[in-house]
Amino acid sequence: MKKLLFACLFIAFASMSYAQQKSPYTLFDAKGRKVSYAKMIRHLKDKDIVLFGEYHNNAIAHWLQLAVTKDLHAKRQMVLGAEMFEADNQVALNNYLSGKLSAKGLDSNARLWKNYPTDYAPLVNYAKANNIPFIATNIPRKYAALVNKGGFGKLDSLTSEEKKWIAPLPMTYDASLPGYVNMIKMMGLHATENMPKAQASKDATMAHFILTNHTNGSLFLHYNGAYHSDNFDGINWYLKQQKPNLKIGTISTVSQANIKSLLAENLGKADYIICVDIDMTNTY
């Protein structure tokens, strides 16, 4: 009887152990070493700015964004910001946060992404419930489209009011930055020299509004597509151009068939890398 009980307990514990090992993601540091979530939070809580690079349709990244927001907020005064809101929608966003607009009113007055209800509303609503500023950091897409068509010079024709929604002109630009070089390679025959400039107009503008709204003693947590901050490039580069002594932490998201070890191509993308099982359900 005792032997049977022992065997049953062994099987039960073995099954529990197997279940605990099965996870939809693994967290790594820049060198590809597995790291705990708690250690990441301890490290990031002392930063001035954290750039959370996501895959826009990745459920794990969005779940962790809310978790990271809550856990960092428990330790620091915070400001939140996101690529997913264009700067000229700040008034509508503020009105929602202050209760002057309903969720339906925000949808009518701001250009919300199609996955806003599932992926970004929880972040905005957390900010609303906790009186945390939430900053619309991105350049209005129509202005980025101008750059894509005709380069930075097209922005000179904007009115003084319109220029309030972009980084100050002239925008600094370095075509040799890895992210912009890789963009040309990825686009192949469809690439133009203005494509990375349009990307840079987004990076520069997001950095500008992060710095404009960052306050001493607070942590600015910014949500953006991973490509905007991978390899300590993009937004990170623009932030450092203006304030080289900033303490910046970065998170990236990658997807792999095997999440037990990080592929060489994903090493060094960020301080912390969320490696998600390729079979994980996407939000769209």
Please, are residues 205 and 166 in contact by the beta-carbon 8 Å criterion?
yes
Chain segment 33-75, per-residue pLDDT in tens: 999 999 999 999 999 999 999 999 999 999 999 999 999 999 9
pLDDT bin (cut points 50, 70, 90) of residue 20 is low
Q: Computed from CA positions of residues 127, 131, 137, 138, in that sequence, does the dihedral angle turn out positive or negative? A: positive
What distance in Å separates the CA atoms of residue 86 and residue 140, rounded to the nearest whole number?
5
What distance in Å separates the CA atoms of residue 256 and residue 132, rounded to the nearest whole number?
34
Among the listed residues 47, 99, 83, the one whose alpha carbon sits nearest the alpha carbon of residue 204: 83
Chain segment 124-144, per-residue pLDDT in tens: 999 999 999 999 999 999 999
277 Cα distance to chain centroid: 19
Q: SS3 for 200?
A: helix
Three-point CA angle 9, 12, 15, nearest 5°: 150
Report the CATH fold assignment for 24-277: Rossmann fold (3.40.50)
Chain segment 161-218, per-residue pLDDT in tens: 999 999 999 999 999 999 999 999 988 878 899 999 999 999 999 999 999 999 999 9
First to last CA, the chain: 53
Q: Which two tokens stand for residue 41?
A: 């939070």
* Domain ranges (residues) in the chain: 24-277
pLDDT bin (cut points 50, 70, 90) of residue 8 is very low
Chain segment 215-270, per-residue pLDDT in tens: 999 999 999 999 999 999 999 999 999 999 999 999 999 999 999 999 999 999 99
pLDDT bin (cut points 50, 70, 90) of residue 22 is confident
